[in-house]
Structures are given as structure tokens and as C-alpha cells.
Chains A and B, each alone.
Chain A
């Protein structure tokens, strides 16, 4: 593995560790329902502060179940990851193509644009 790849892997491992540690250390054990969303907790806090508060608008569309909701969240992540992967794949392909073209140009010094490094 190159030094670059090692550093990148290390970064990913750190992120994974940060995500797994709270689970492994049981940091949610003091709660009735560990690891729920912070947004939901905020809603609970609002009702604690103002017991009479009623949300005055409800979402136009609500996923009918937790499964559908996580499916849509995965879709969001997949869309994002797909675009990122497309971007890096395209860039890598282009760079390789340019390198190959440059190598070919070097192999044939009579080519008129042999000395351009663009």
C-alpha cells in the first residue's frame, strides 16, 4: 500500500472508531431507548418546556414505516455516493488518459506537441 492509501485508510478507520466506540462502551445504556435521533429528543424537550405546544403543520408526505424511511435515507446516501464515485472515476480515467497520451508523445519526439505538459 502506498503512503497515501495508508493515510486514507487510517482516516476511515478513525471515523469508524468514532462511530463504534459509543456503542461498544454502552454510552446509551442510561436511556430507555438508546441511540434514538437527537431531533426526536429535541421534540421531547420542547414538550417538556411547553406542554401545551402543538405542532401547527405536519409533513406533506411521511414515510409509512421505519423501513421505508431507512430505504429513503439509503437512497439519499446512495445518490450522493454514486455522484462522488462518478466524479472520482471520471477524473481518474481522464488523468490516466492524459498520462498515456503524454507517454506516447514522449515515445515519438517528432510529434509537434511533445513538450507540452498540459
Chain B
């Protein structure tokens, strides 16, 4: 989903950079706070970052006959909330821009906006919505990751459509074109990402109940809450 280096006009590149910067700065603060308050979170934070590392290196074939990759941002957004994912996602993008010529420095702002900001927020919002209406944890996790992935590619399509409106049919025409390239390709990949995120969350519920309780992903059993209130 990365917009390649130099492929956004300078004004657009700068505007997306300005739009992303506050989210990333706020994210860095949230991350420092989390690590200071709960040093035991560091491990799981690393694991969440590692998950986006693996998934965004995983180029998979899709129904449109082209390849794309998942983003892996839904997991961290559900575990640690979206601001922290703004940092972890941007680090992944920076790695790919500097070492792989995948994405770019001039397009980092735009790519961070789609993958590290909108994706995590949309995914987290979806997860919360499902949970609020009583959906089981894993159903919420699946749709959260699915939406985090798909919304990222929709934003990329919008970013390119706004920068390169079709001479005949305008922004809408371009959006159809870029949406066909990115969003349609991404549909099955978003399902894959949902399934993989559920798999990791299942492993976490088996291995790290304590972390998930502390982060509020798993609900505390009632009596324990009373103990805490008393303490």
C-alpha cells in the first residue's frame, strides 16, 4: 500500500506529513508513558511491533492477479490503543523506506497516515463496537484487524486519487481506478490478516493472560475487581 518515493506531488507529501506528525508525537508520548508505568509491557509491545514487521513483509497473491501485503496494525491497536500503533507502524514504514526502497521518505507522511493512523483507529473502533454489542472477543478481533487492514488501503486510494484526479472523470474516476488496484486486491488479504490476528490473540490468551487482563482486553473476573476496589 506504500506510495512509492517521489510519487506524491511535494505539496501533498508535505500536507500528509503535517497531518501525521501530531499523531506520531502523541504516540511517542503514549508509548513512553506505557513503558514507564508498566515496564512489563515492553515485551508485548515488542511482539506487537514484530507482528507488523512480519505481516508487512508478507507479499501475498490476490484475486486481482497482483500481490500486496497485510499491515498487522490491528493487533497492536487492540492491545495498546491506536496512538502507540502510530509509532510502531511508522517505524516499520521507515525501515521499509530506508532499506527496501519500498514506500519512501517523501511519502512517509501519507503512508503513516493510512497505515499507522487511520488503519489502527478504524480497526480499534470496529473492535470496540463489536465488543460493546456483546460480540465474543475473537469476533471483535477478527473484524478489528480486517477493518484496520482494508481501511489503510482505502485511504491510500483516496490519497492518490486526490493527488492525481483523472482528466476526464476527476477525483471520483481516479478513486475507482486506485480502489480497483488497492482495495479490491486487499479484500482477501484483509481476511487473512483477520485470521492471523485471531491466531496470535488466541496464543496470547493461552500464554499471557496476565498481560491481557492488565490491558483490559480480557475482562477481570468479578471478585478480583472487588478486591482491587478495596485495596
> Which residues of A are at the interface with B, using a C-beta cutoff of 8 A?
4, 7-8, 11-12, 14-15, 18-19, 22-23, 27-31, 34-39, 41-43, 45-46, 49-50, 53, 55-63, 69, 72-74, 76-77, 79-84, 87-88, 90-92, 95
Q: What is the distance, in angstroms, from A52's C-beta to the closest C-beta of chain B? A: 11
Asked whether, in the complex, the Cβ of A84 is within 8 Å of the Cβ of B54, the reply is yes
Asked whether, in the complex, the Cβ of A35 is within 8 Å of the Cβ of B57, the reply is no
Q: What is the distance, in angstroms, from B59's C-beta to the closest C-beta of chain A? A: 7
Interface size class of B (residues with CB under 8 A): 35 or more
Q: What is the distance, in angstroms, from B155's C-beta to the closest C-beta of chain A? A: 13
Count, A-B residue pairs, CB within 8 A = 184
Q: A11-B198, A59-B5, A77-B54 are in contact. Are A36 and B67 (CB under 8 A)?
A: yes
Asked whether, in the complex, the Cβ of B54 is within 8 Å of the Cβ of A34, the reply is no
User: Nearest chain-A residue to B191 (Cβ)?
Assistant: A18
Asked whether, in the complex, the Cβ of A79 is within 8 Å of the Cβ of B68, the reply is no
Q: A45-B177, A56-B10 are in contact. Are A76 and B97 (CB under 8 A)?
A: no
Q: Give A91 to B104 CA distance when docked, in angstroms.
A: 36
Q: A11-B196, A49-B174 are in contact. Are A35 and B164 (CB under 8 A)?
A: no
Asked whether, in the complex, the Cβ of A38 is within 8 Å of the Cβ of B7, the reply is no
Asked whether, in the complex, the Cβ of B203 is within 8 Å of the Cβ of A88, the reply is yes
Asked whether, in the complex, the Cβ of A55 is within 8 Å of the Cβ of B5, the reply is yes
- In the assembled complex, 25 residue pairs joining A and B whose CB atoms fall closer than 8 Å, in A order, are A14-B195, A18-B189, A18-B192, A22-B188, A28-B66, A34-B66, A36-B66, A38-B64, A39-B1, A39-B3, A39-B4, A42-B182, A49-B174, A57-B106, A59-B104, A59-B105, A72-B99, A72-B100, A77-B54, A77-B57, A79-B50, A83-B50, A84-B47, A84-B54, A88-B203
CB-CB under 8 A from A63, the residues of chain B are: 99-101
